[in-house]
Amino acid sequence: MLITQRLQALRAKMKQEGVAAYIMPLSDPHQSEYPATYWKSLAYISGFTGSAGTVMVSQDHAGLWTDSRYFIQGEQELEGSSFELHKMNVQHHPGYIEWLQSNLKKGDIVIADGPMISLAQKDKWSKKLSEAGIKLKTTADFIDSTWENRPQLPDTAIFEHEISYAGQSRAEKLAEVRKGMAEKEADYHLVTTLDDIAWILNLRGSDVECNPVFVSFLLIAKDKTQLFINEAKVPSALKEKLLKDGITIQAYNDISSYLSKLQQSDRVLINNGSINVQLHEALSDATTINGKIISRHLKAIKNTTEIDHFRRVHVKDAVALTHAFYWLEQTVKERTVTEYEFAAKIGECRSQQQGYFGESFSAIVGYKGNGAIIHYRPALETAAEITYDGILLVDSGGQYIDGTTDITRTITFSPPPAEQKNAYTRVLKGHIALAKAVFPEGTTGGQLDTLARHSLWEDGLNYGHGTGHGVGFFLNVHEPPQGFAPGATGRATSSQKPGMVTSNEPGHYVTDKYGIRIENLILTKQSKTEGFLEFETITYFPIDTQLIDFSLLTKGEVDWLNAYHEEVKTKVCPQLDGVYKAWMEEKCKPV
C-alpha cells in the first residue's frame, strides 16, 4: 500500500536524523486553509483529504487529529492504513501535543517544518513539550526527500481585479494599510496570507483550487511595496501598472534572504499567527512588532460597490441553481442521478452565468447517510445514487468576478418521517432566529451562535461545527475574522460590524442516516435603533417546505419564511422564463 510505503520512508529518515516524532499540520508557508497541491503533504502521507487536520508520526504510532466535521470522512479515508484517527471534540485543541507529552521520554526530539507552522504554533508547542523535557526543533521541508514525483508550484498568470468590482484602488488600500502601520510605528508590514495580498493589490490568480489567490509574499514599507512572486506569473503590462503604483517584483524564494538584511532599527509589523517560523528566523536582526493583519479587518468590511455586486451575484447564482434543481427534480422521476453527476450539473449551470470563474469549494452533495459527513465530497466511483425518497443535502458555491456565493439546501422528494421533520424544523428555527437578530454593536459571534442552536438544544440536539464564517469578495469562501461559533475561537470572539458578509448555517446530523443544513449569506448593517445592528439575507433561493413541521413554527417564523420567499420570487423570477419561472413561483408559494 502506498501510504505504508511512504510512512516507512518517512520513519527511515526520522531514524537517520535522530528524531522521535514528526508533526505535520495541514498548511503551507502562508498558513492557508486550502494549500496549493505542492504543499498537500498531509494528504500525501496519510490519505486524508479534509481541510483541517494534523498528522503526528513516531516510530510506533501514526495519528491524524481532526475535528467533528471530518470524523466520518477520517474513518473512511484512514481505513486499512497504518493511521489512527484521533477525534478532536474541542476544535483547535492540540491533542497531538498531549499524546507526545504522555508517550515520549525526556530528551526526545520532535520536529516540524518551519515554513509550515506559524510562530504562535511553535511557541505554544515548545512550551508544552518542554514541560515534559521534550525539545521541539524546526527544519526545512522534512518530507520533500521522501516525496517522489512531487507536484510543482503553480505557474499560472495573475490578473487584475478591476476597480469597478473592487470599489477601491490598490493605492487607496495601501494608504489605509500604511495608516495602520503608522499607528504601530512600523517601518514595514510583512503580509504572508494569500487572500490579504490579493485584496490589497486588487489582483487574483488560480494557484489554489477554488480560491482565486496566488502564491506570494508582500512587504509594505512607508514609501515602497515589494511583491515576492514567481516573476513569470506577472504579465509585462501588469508589471508596468504595478510599477507605476510603486510596487516592484522580487523572486518568491528571495523573501528570506531579503528579510535577513533588515536591521534592528527596522521595525517590522508581523502577525505571530500567520508568519511562518522560517520567515521569523530571517527577521532575527530586525525589531518585530506582533499585531493584527491590518488588511484582514479592512477586507472584512465590504464597501458599497462590493455589497451591490454581492446582491446581484446572488440573483445570478439563484438562476443557475434553479436550472440545476429543476433538472434534478425532473430527472429522478425517470432514473437515478448520482451525487457526483448532480455536483457536476450545478457547476455546469453556474458556468453559464456571466462572470463565472469556478467553484468556491468542491460541492457537497450528500444523499441520505452521506449528508451526515459534514464536508463530504462525492467521487465518481463511489457516489451514491439519488432516488425519489430520503433527504439530500447540497452545499455549493461559486466564484464570480463580481462576488462569491455559498449556499446549502436540504431537500426531499417524498414525505419525510416525523424525526426528520422535527430536526429540519428546529434547524430552520435556528436559521430564522439568527437571520432576524437585532443586537447591540460589539456583540460577538459566540453570543450570536447560541440563537441558532436554541431550538435544537430544547430537544437535546446539536451540531459540531460553527454556525457561520466570513465570506470574501471574489476571494476565499472562508474569510476571517468574523463568524458564529462557540468557544474562544477567532470567530467566536470577533464582533460583527456593518458591511461584513457571513454565512448562517445551522445543521443536524445523524450518522449513516441523514444530514440537515440550511445556509444563506447575511450582510451586517445598521438597525433602525441607534447603536444596534441587524442582518440582511442576500442569498435568494427557496427553502424546502416539505420538511417543515409547521406545528413547531411561530407566526413570526412563518411570516419571515413567507417574506423571504416573496423576496426570492421578486428578485429571481424576472431572470427566469418558462418551466423555470413556474418552478420558482411554486417553490415560493406562501405557507
Cell output for 510: 445523524
Q: Is residue 588 part of a domain?
A: no
Same domain, 333 and 481: yes
Domain containing 484 — which CATH number? 3.90.230.10
pLDDT tens sequence across 410-458: 999 999 999 999 999 999 999 999 999 999 999 999 999 999 999 999 9
pLDDT tens sequence across 559-589: 999 999 999 999 999 999 999 999 999 999 9
pLDDT at 140: 76
Burial of 469 from C-beta contacts in 10 A (0-12 / 13-18 / 19+): buried
For the CA atoms of 183, 184, 187, 193, the dihedral, rounded to the nearest 10 degrees, stands at -110
Instruction: Please tell me the least confidently modeled range out of 167-176, 373-382, 474-483.
Output: 373-382
Residue 252 has pLDDT above 70, yes or no: yes
Same domain, 336 and 261: no
For the chain, helix, strand, coil in percent to 5 are 40, 20, 40
Same domain, 181 and 253: yes
Burial of 273 from C-beta contacts in 10 A (0-12 / 13-18 / 19+): middle
* Cβ-Cβ contacts under 8 Å for 154 (sequence gap 6 or more): 36, 37, 38, 205, 206, 207, 208, 214, 215
Say if CB 51 and CB 208 are below 8 A apart. Answer: no
pLDDT at 184: 97
Provide the 3-class DSSP secondary structure of residue 25: strand
Average pLDDT over residues 276-303: 98
Same domain, 109 and 130: yes
Same domain, 336 and 199: no
Spatial separation of the C-alpha atoms in residues 402 and 454, rounded to whole Å? 35
DSSP string, 210-232: TB---S-EEEEESS-EEEES-GG
Same domain, 165 and 282: yes
pLDDT tens sequence across 468-481: 999 999 999 999 99
Strand partners, 447: none
Strand partners, 139: 113
Q: Is residue 590 part of a domain?
A: no
pLDDT tens sequence across 213-240: 999 999 999 999 999 999 999 999 999 9
User: Which of 140, 220, 208 has the alpha carbon at shortest distance from 179?
Assistant: 220
Look-up of cell digits 466535521: 69
User: Which of 512, 236, 244, 209 has the alpha carbon at shortest distance from 366?
Assistant: 512
Same domain, 427 and 352: yes
Spatial separation of the C-alpha atoms in residues 299 and 296, rounded to whole Å? 5
* Residue 542, Ramachandran bin (φ over 0: left; ψ between -120 and 50: alpha; else beta): beta
pLDDT at 381: 93
User: Sheet harboring 520-526: ordered strands across?
Assistant: 438-440, 532-537, 520-526, 501-504
Q: Is residue 591 part of a domain?
A: no
Q: Is residue 151 part of a domain?
A: no
Q: Report the share of the chain in percent with pLDDT over 90.
A: 93
Spatial separation of the C-alpha atoms in residues 282 and 259, rounded to whole Å? 6
pLDDT at 92: 66
pLDDT tens sequence across 49-96: 988 899 999 999 999 999 888 888 899 999 988 899 999 877 667 899
Same domain, 437 and 414: yes
- pLDDT averaged over the chain? 96
Burial of 387 from C-beta contacts in 10 A (0-12 / 13-18 / 19+): middle
Say if CB 338 and CB 321 are below 8 A apart. Answer: no
pLDDT at 323: 98
pLDDT at 72: 86
pLDDT at 1: 67
From 146, 179, 209, give the residue that closes a domain.
146
Q: Is residue 371 part of a domain?
A: yes
556: confidence class by pLDDT, cuts 50, 70, 90: very high
Burial of 237 from C-beta contacts in 10 A (0-12 / 13-18 / 19+): exposed
Q: Is residue 464 part of a domain?
A: yes
Question: What are the helix (H) ranges across 184-260?
Answer: 194-201, 236-244, 255-259
Residue 31 has pLDDT above 80, yes or no: yes
Spatial separation of the C-alpha atoms in residues 458 and 483, rounded to whole Å? 23
- The pTM (predicted TM-score) of the whole model is 0.96
* Cβ-Cβ contacts under 8 Å for 62 (sequence gap 6 or more): 7, 46, 55, 56, 82, 83, 84
pLDDT tens sequence across 491-524: 999 999 999 999 999 999 999 999 999 999 999 9
From 292, 327, 344, give the residue that closes a domain.
292
Q: What's the chain's length in residues?
A: 591
pLDDT at 89: 76
Q: Is residue 175 part of a domain?
A: yes
Domain containing 105 — which CATH number? 3.40.350.10
pLDDT tens sequence across 343-360: 999 999 999 999 999 999
The residue type of 431 is H
Spatial separation of the C-alpha atoms in residues 28 and 36, rounded to whole Å? 8
pLDDT at 425: 98
Same domain, 439 and 517: yes
Same domain, 462 and 367: yes
Residue 186 has pLDDT above 90, yes or no: yes
Q: Is residue 154 part of a domain?
A: no
Cis, peptide link before residue 481, omega less than 30° from 0: yes
Helix 418-435 vs helix 555-572: angle between axes, to the nearest 10 degrees? Answer: 80
Q: In the chain, how many domains are there?
A: 3
Same domain, 61 and 202: no
Domain that holds residue 421: 301-581
Say if CB 476 and CB 207 are below 8 A apart. Answer: no
pLDDT at 91: 66
Instruction: Please tell me the least confidently modeled range out of 84-93, 158-167, 237-246, 369-378.
Output: 84-93
Same domain, 14 and 58: yes
Strand partners, 396: 407
From 146, 172, 193, give the residue that closes a domain.
146
For the CA atoms of 377, 381, 382, 388, the dihedral, rounded to the nearest 10 degrees, stands at 90
Say if CB 182 and CB 161 are below 8 A apart. Answer: no
Average pLDDT over residues 357-382: 96
CA 192 to chain centre: 17
Say if CB 407 and CB 426 are below 8 A apart. Answer: no
